[in-house]
Structure 1
């Protein structure tokens, strides 16, 4: 998951040569029923979780039994062969590679992405205290072991509404980290993820909200900003979307009813 690279380190007017740790980025080919369906760039590790989560977001699988087998191909490096149950919906093959920065490339339309959502979350009455939610980035960061070594990985974590961590995954791609979390939950038989919170280390993009909705997650929190399309999708799907969750504060963009707050002091009006 990491590799060493010699670098010239320049600091405070001094130069030194030293090895540096880098996050590995390699391609992963996914074959379903013998047909290549996608080629994605990822950080090796938890590859089966990654594929399972991707299949959830594609609307192909919903329960562990939908995936009959997953195995690494012996004659092809970085290739996984997947066999789906007859009841599962085979994913639409991608005509090109998916980068580590984009999780919905190749979708015919936003509407096509929305139709892949199996579990409505609008009726999920989960609530969480603002103090718990504001502490999730620190909990996530404490589990980022590879980031400590490389400084170059995104992370996603699944938490209960009371702040208990269930699974944390890291990857060079934001959407890969989320897929690995969702895939782990699928393989453990936990979907839909009602009553849970998804915390991500970066911004909240459209594809990440889509993946949260596909897994039935009612609350998604990001350290950085959401995009306008992410907010629109979260509003439509009934997801509580939080941004700028850091320093004890946050912005609540949609479905504020799930965030429990104490009395908020009235701000003095500027004169």
Structure 2
């Protein structure tokens, strides 16, 4: 799998057995600098692969683009400060379509984005409450609890790199009506995995993502709820907990937010009316 995984020597220790050296497969984590028209915008720690999708999804999340025709080209270039030097494939320069305004200088992240934080570098909480181009609250999508209950296992069954490393998050986009898996992406950063899914949709001119469910392998944080809203996704489901700020945003934006989706049970934190039988609980 190229730079997606790598091999390292580890010492395997088991109680009451002799330690031994062995080769272990690790998920690769490397920085990606995203530039727009040559100007640095952000640096994120990510698993290499689908870099163009990652950058495209990031631009959607930032409110810079909203449709496929807004995104023109992307090219890997040399590292920071290089003048045509060796291509590290860790710098991606994006050209927006003619007439699309570049991000303002204040949009540049104050410091790099770690693989666990998709909002680091923002100057204030108001800055991340980006106005979406899509009205998620108007989406009339409905889903059944039985269909939602199948999504975590389907997601897990398709995590090919996780099977080798045990170290990647995943995000999968599903048809709400049928449960069909449309696309799945893995990354060391949960927000990167979502950006890759959204970027895939942007590059295929599929935004807004009405009638879909975004399933994630970890918790439902504010940043993931924000990315779902920016892409026009009406339902976000997670196998772990939701944060208070994610619930606040979901309530405000009209996003159905589901957490602790395990087996046949789940917690619906916001807008249960999209889930059959959940609108009027006892």
Which TM-score tier does this pair reach, normalised by the shorter chain? over 0.9
Partner of 2:110: 95
SS at match of 1:11: coil
For residues 11 and 61 of structure 2, the distance between their equivalents in structure 1, rounded to whole angstroms, comes to 42
Partner of 2:133: 118
Tell me if the contact between 1:58 and 1:116 (Cα under 8 Å) persists in the aligned partners: no
Tell me if the contact between 1:140 and 1:155 (Cα under 8 Å) persists in the aligned partners: yes
Work out which of the residue numbers 3, 6, 10 in structure 1 matches 2:6. 3
Work out which of the residue numbers 219, 223, 231 in structure 2 matches 1:215. 231
For residues 115 and 44 of structure 1, the distance between their equivalents in structure 2, rounded to whole angstroms, comes to 27
For residues 20 and 156 of structure 2, the distance between their equivalents in structure 1, rounded to whole angstroms, comes to 29
Moved more, 95-104 or 74-83: 74-83
Tell me if the contact between 2:62 and 2:130 (Cα under 8 Å) persists in the aligned partners: no
Listed as ranges, the matches of 1:74-93 within 5 Å are 74=78, 75=85, 76-77=87-88, 78-91=90-103, 92-93=107-108
1:260 and 2:279 aligned: no
- Where structure 2 has 5 or more consecutive residues not aligned to the other structure, the ranges are 79-84
TM-score of the superposed pair, with normalisation by structure 2: 0.90
1:37 and 2:49 aligned: no
Partner of 2:82: none
Listed as ranges, the matches of 1:196-215 within 5 Å are 196-215=212-231
Tell me if the contact between 1:57 and 1:116 (Cα under 8 Å) persists in the aligned partners: no
Partner of 1:135: 150
1:189 and 2:205 aligned: yes
Tell me if the contact between 2:69 and 2:205 (Cα under 8 Å) persists in the aligned partners: no
Q: How many residues align?
A: 265
SS at match of 1:208: helix
Work out which of the residue numbers 162, 170, 180 in structure 2 matches 1:147. 162
Moved more, 12-21 or 142-151: 12-21
Work out which of the residue numbers 47, 54, 63 in structure 2 matches 1:50. 54
Work out which of the residue numbers 71, 79, 84 in structure 1 matches 2:75. 71
For residues 66 and 170 of structure 2, the distance between their equivalents in structure 1, rounded to whole angstroms, comes to 23
Work out which of the residue numbers 173, 193, 202 in structure 2 matches 1:158. 173
Root mean square deviation, CA, Å: 1.7
SS at match of 1:234: helix
Tell me if the contact between 1:6 and 1:18 (Cα under 8 Å) persists in the aligned partners: yes
- Rate the CA distance shift 1:31–1:248 in 2: closer, same or farther, 3 A: same
